[in-house]
Copies of this chain bind each other. A is one copy, B any other.
Amino acid sequence: MALHPLAQALHGTLDTHPSLPYFFSHRGRGIYFPKQGILGQTAEAKGKAINATIGIALDDDGVPLHLPSIQSHIDLPPAEVYPYAPGYGVPELRAAWQDRIRCNNPSLKAAISLPVVTSGLTHALSVAGYLFIDEGDDLIIPQPMWDNYDLLFQHTYGARIRSFPLFHNDEFNIAAFRVALSESSRKKIVLLNFPNNPTGYTPLREEAAAMVDAIRRSAEEGNRIIVLIDDAYFGLNYDERAFSESFFAPLADLHENVLAVKIDGASKEEFAWGFRVAFLTYGIRGLTPEQAEALADKTAGAIRATVSNAPLLQQHLMLRAFNSPTYDEEKRKNAAMLRERYEAAMRALREPAHEDFFRMLPCNSGYFFCVELREGIDAEQVRQMLLADFDTGVIALGSRLLRIAFSSVPVADIPRLVANMIEVCKKTTHTQPRSRGSLPRTEG
């Protein structure tokens, strides 16, 4: 099918880069932001004395009509609460988020795109799938992984998830990562989610360097690699040896065959999970301002096609927070509480009492830790017994992993949580015959 003239124009710009035109899916190649349509015409009419373009309702003074029963709960002006947000997101927020990316990743010096606002992190991942994944494309993800990647990428866009075990001897499994990179098709899509859900692992500095090096070598061999960097838990690191920047920093300017896609948002970083505000930001060696804008245009097109725009109120609440003098201190305080819980969990797991039943997978960041149960102990059975007999909730992943959200357990309860887990494991080993367990895997 012929491209729409606006999509053609975008690809005219993208074609000036040696690799950018080749990353898109069929659906992604055709998408464009409808600048000439209602949205573009509305933008051109902004500020006119008589403006009959806007598909909202304004009172005689130009204030958005609204319901006082709603407004009484919010102290922002109606213009920051009720109108549609721009399809790309509120411009001030996009600029502020770009500043924060640079500020939090000091080694990032290259040109990057302005972040585009999506309706939460899942939506940012889905938009990346829309733009870049065709039916049958390989998607390389270490296991265990967040179970929703399966619905997001495999079920919705037809990706084939090629997983490899995240750990080998409790280190990042660099050999398996290299093999995965070498075995998949020539266009490769890699998903990196660190701090990791579910393990809470972030690669150490030297591991991160080796991963980046593996991607560089693959790119040098002529492969084109899209790296989706799911930074949901960015910034929550508890170990100085861990790589503290986003993988976006070393990848954004790595090679002209590597498109780095940063996916991050308010959910965890701003302690605002239900806000549904996240961002997509691009980096690639040789990116020009025009190409960066074309990438943002295509992204906004996919947003228009799926949700129109992200919630406005939360975008302004985030801006208000960024401009508050106490904001940094507030975030530090919350992060310190999570660190205390992490440390309490590590202390509790240092006791040798659990070693007959499970071992912790490497964990140095994020919200969670995982334990791998000894062969013959069934994760679902442990979970059920913890619920029924110990008033304790954990997540079972596959047959041998338990995921523990230390993020939501007070420090004082953490020793009891671990003790309960040990107690249940003891019981199950007395009540069931030992059998050879399968390898740990998560659903999906």
Q: Which residues of A contact B (CB under 8 A)?
A: 27, 30-31, 34, 36-38, 41-42, 44-46, 48-60, 64-70, 72-76, 81-85, 119-123, 126, 130, 147-148, 151-152, 155-156, 197, 270-276, 301, 304-314, 317-318, 320-321, 324, 326-327, 330-331, 334, 337-338, 367-368, 383, 387, 390-396, 403-413, 416-417, 420, 443-444
A274-B123 in contact given A34-B443, A48-B392, A155-B27 (Cβ < 8 Å): no
Complex Cα distance, B54 from A72, in Å, reads 31
Closest chain B residue to A79, Cβ basis: B274
A27-B420 in contact given A55-B367, A391-B49 (Cβ < 8 Å): no
Chain B contacts for A59, CB-based, 8 A: 337
Apart from A41-B383, A49-B392: 15 A-B pairs, beta carbons within 8 A:
A27-B155, A31-B151, A48-B392, A51-B408, A57-B334, A57-B408, A67-B270, A67-B330, A70-B270, A74-B74, A82-B275, A84-B273, A119-B123, A119-B276, A311-B311
Complex Cα distance, B387 from A313, in Å, reads 30
Cβ-defined contact, B38 with A147, below 8 A: yes
Pull 24 A–B residue pairs with CB atoms less than 8 Å apart, ordered by A: A34-B151, A38-B403, A41-B395, A48-B391, A50-B409, A50-B420, A51-B392, A51-B408, A52-B393, A58-B407, A59-B337, A60-B410, A60-B412, A65-B271, A67-B321, A69-B324, A69-B326, A72-B75, A74-B317, A122-B307, A148-B304, A148-B305, A151-B305, A313-B314
A51-B274 in contact given A60-B410, A148-B304 (Cβ < 8 Å): no
Complex Cα distance, B7 from A76, in Å, reads 44
Closest chain B residue to A306, Cβ basis: B126
Closest chain B residue to A7, Cβ basis: B155
- Number of this chain's copies in the assembly equals 2
Name the one of B65, B121, B324 contacting A337, with C-beta atoms under 8 angstroms.
B65
Complex Cα distance, B94 from A396, in Å, reads 30
Give me the 7 closest cross-chain CB pairs, A-B, nearest first.
A45-B393, A274-B312, A69-B324, A122-B308, A151-B305, A49-B391, A69-B321
Min CB–CB distance A373 → chain B (angstroms): 15
Cβ-defined contact, A395 with B48, below 8 A: no
Complex Cα distance, B337 from A406, in Å, reads 53
Cβ-defined contact, B57 with A271, below 8 A: yes
A408-B69 in contact given A313-B275, A313-B314 (Cβ < 8 Å): no
Name the one of B34, B58, B73, B83 contacting A147, with C-beta atoms under 8 angstroms.
B34
Closest chain B residue to A321, Cβ basis: B69
Chain B contacts for A83, CB-based, 8 A: 273-274
Closest chain B residue to A147, Cβ basis: B37
Closest chain B residue to A272, Cβ basis: B82
Closest chain B residue to A322, Cβ basis: B69
Complex Cα distance, B318 from A66, in Å, reads 12
